[in-house]
Amino acid sequence: MNKTKRICAIAIAAMLAVTSFAGCGSGDTGSTGGTTGGSTGGETTASTTGGGTTVTGDGGDPLYGEGANGTINLKVWGPDAAQEVLKGQCKKFSENMKAYGDVQIEVIPQGEADSAALVLNDATVAADVFGFACDNLNKLVRTGCLLEVTGAEKDAVIADNSEGSVKAATVTDKDTGEDKIYGYPETGDNSYILVYNKDYVSEDQAKTLEGTLEACKAANKKFVIEAGNGYYSCMFMFTGGLKIDGYEEDGETQKFTEYDEAKVVKTMMAFQDLFIKYKDNLLVGEITKVVDGFKSDTVAAGIDGSWNFSHAKETLGDKAGFAVLPTINVDGTDTPIINMFGYKLLGVNSSTKYPNTSIELAKFLAGEECQAERAEKLNWGPSNKAVAESDVVKNDQALSAILAQSANSVAQISIADSFWTPVATLGNKVSDTANPMDEAACSCMHRIAQSNYR
């Protein structure tokens, strides 16, 4: 008992320390869950100014009455990896609009991890159309930074996209109870799955965490997991049955559903026991180490995000394997690992000088044609239902796996800023094979994390 109290005391001190330090930063944390935050599991760094490329259409009558005194100038933000594709799509939009007006679109590199924070900082200098991760939707809506999607556009978003992505773009009005949409679903893949080298891990072994780790051991290779990041370590609790459910009535405090604490603790202990058993093959570090390890032939498998699928394919070629997150045996039962699953949305800046043209552009970029091109060229998982059923997606193991993972996930919607740091600290404790916890200490850590974001 004394040992448990000491562990709790140390854990509380550590938790308070990391939480206080987190408060000194920008406060804009999100699904990367790391010390620098960022609300998408994809790009965490991108230039914020300059480097834009202008694509041009030429003139006729003003587009929807806008630009009567000259050219319609729009600015679009998109991640570095998508620049060439995005430029081409914007150029096509300009050409499509030639009969209505002269539309010039400046395409600027800006990752979704930082775009929402920049819009919140000063919407008047932000892009007219920008991509962002869905967990930032409420902040953008509360501050009036987004144009609402209404009328026929709203009906089309609902009809054309997956239920999860539509929900991710929706905010319920507290006064009227009406569901309002404020973004155009752009992807349905902002999450992570198991990525492995088929030379060392078989398809059957990849079905279970035990089998995957045993394959890594047999090959004398590493298994990579970013356990010290709340975006990934939340799986330790989610797999046990804990689920977050938006905010409490204050609009800031994390809300979660009823769950069995004992089951959550047993699940975390199951992860820890496996990590201890295979500690020589465990590499706790940033997910970039997955592809880096494939390149150096030191890694056989790891938990990796959809934004890195193309890199894994380039590195391993036909040896690249992709699968939904494996099961883990908890108390004799093979239990699917539950992760966090998000969506990327395109928003229209409420400060735009050209709202009608910006809406048309967002609709086009989020539409079936553009999503299909991004699925083929960038390996982005679509939110569009027709694209999800296309051969491009069905014949792609990575895209099929990431879309299937959404069935075993907790939606990344309305995540409190206070969620990420304590859950990351909890993940560090679960993966600390040098100083393992007993069940009482594990329960203590879980309660501390819970109290910090509740």
Residue 317 pLDDT: 97
Residue 252 domain flag: yes
| Residue that is last in its domain, among 378, 394, 410 | 410
Residue closest to 301 by CA, chosen among 209, 224, 236, 232 = 224
Ordered per-residue pLDDT tens for the chain, 454 residues: 433 333 343 343 344 333 333 322 222 333 333 333 333 344 332 222 333 433 433 343 335 568 556 789 999 999 998 999 999 999 999 999 888 888 999 999 998 878 988 998 888 899 999 999 998 998 899 899 999 999 999 999 999 999 999 999 999 888 898 999 999 999 999 999 999 999 999 999 999 999 999 999 999 999 999 999 999 999 999 999 988 876 767 766 676 777 788 999 999 999 999 999 999 999 999 999 999 999 999 999 999 999 899 999 999 999 999 999 999 999 999 999 999 999 999 999 999 999 999 999 999 999 999 999 999 999 899 999 999 999 999 999 999 999 999 999 998 887 877 888 889 999 999 999 998 888 877 777 666 666 655 5
Domain count, the chain: 2
In order of 44, 55, 278, the CA distances from 147 in angstroms are 26, 24, 50
Half-sphere exposure (Cβ direction) of 198: Cα atoms closer than 13 Å: 13
245 shares a domain with 276: yes
201 shares a domain with 124: no
Residue 227 domain flag: yes
333 shares a domain with 236: yes
Residue 217 domain flag: yes
User: Residue 75 forms beta bridges with which residues?
Assistant: 106
Q: Are 206 and 321 in contact (CB under 8 A)?
A: yes
Residue 442 pLDDT: 73
Residue 5 domain flag: no
179 shares a domain with 136: yes
Q: Are 208 and 328 in contact (CB under 8 A)?
A: yes
Residue 20 domain flag: no
366 shares a domain with 256: no
Residue 251 pLDDT: 67
What does the alpha-carbon distance between residue 366 and residue 182 come to, in Å, rounded to a whole number?
A: 13
297 shares a domain with 364: no
Residue 141 pLDDT: 93
What does the alpha-carbon distance between residue 18 and residue 315 come to, in Å, rounded to a whole number?
A: 36
Q: Are 224 and 291 in contact (CB under 8 A)?
A: no
* CATH code of residue 295: 3.40.190.10
328 shares a domain with 213: yes
Residue 47 domain flag: no
Q: Are 379 and 195 in contact (CB under 8 A)?
A: no
Residue 69 pLDDT: 63
Give the structural domain span for 377.
53-189+342-410
User: Residue 76 forms beta bridges with which residues?
Assistant: 107, 129
Angle at 310 between CA 307 and CA 316, to 5 degrees: 130
Residue 64 pLDDT: 56
Residue 327 domain flag: yes
Q: What is the 3-state secondary structure (H, E, C) of the chain?
A: CHHHHHHHHHHHHHHHHHHHHHCCCCCCECCCCCCCCECCCCCCCCCCCCCCEEEECCCCCCECCECCCCCEEEEEEECHHHHHHHHHHHHHHHHHCCCCCCEEEEEEECCHHHHHHHHHHCHHHCCCEEEEEHHHHHHHHHCCCECCECHHHHHHHHHHECHHHHHHCEEECCCCCCEEECCEEEEEEECEEEEEECCCCCCCHHHEHHHHHHHHHHHCCEEEECCCCHHHHHHHHHCCCCCEEEECCCCCCEEECCCCHHHHHHHHHHHHHHHHHCHHHEEECCCHHHHHHHHHCCEEEEEEEHHHHHHHHHHHHHHEEEECCCEEEECCEEEECCEEEEEEEEEEECCCCCHHHHHHHHHHHCCHHHHHHHHHHHCCCCCEHHHHCCHHHHCCHHHHHHHHHHHHEEECCCCCHHHHHHHHHHHHHHCCCCCCCCHHHHHHHHHHHHHHHC
Residue 452 pLDDT: 54
349 shares a domain with 205: no
What does the alpha-carbon distance between residue 197 and residue 279 come to, in Å, rounded to a whole number?
A: 20
207 shares a domain with 85: no
346 shares a domain with 261: no
Residue 257 pLDDT: 74
User: Residue 234 forms beta bridges with which residues?
Assistant: none
Residue 7 pLDDT: 38
Residue 31 domain flag: no
Residue 10 pLDDT: 36
213 shares a domain with 293: yes
271 shares a domain with 298: yes
User: Residue 72 forms beta bridges with which residues?
Assistant: 103
Return left, alpha or beta for 331; rule: phi > 0 is left, psi -120 to 50 is alpha, else beta.
Answer: left
Phi, then psi, of 102 in degrees rounded to 5:
-95, 105
Residue 68 pLDDT: 55
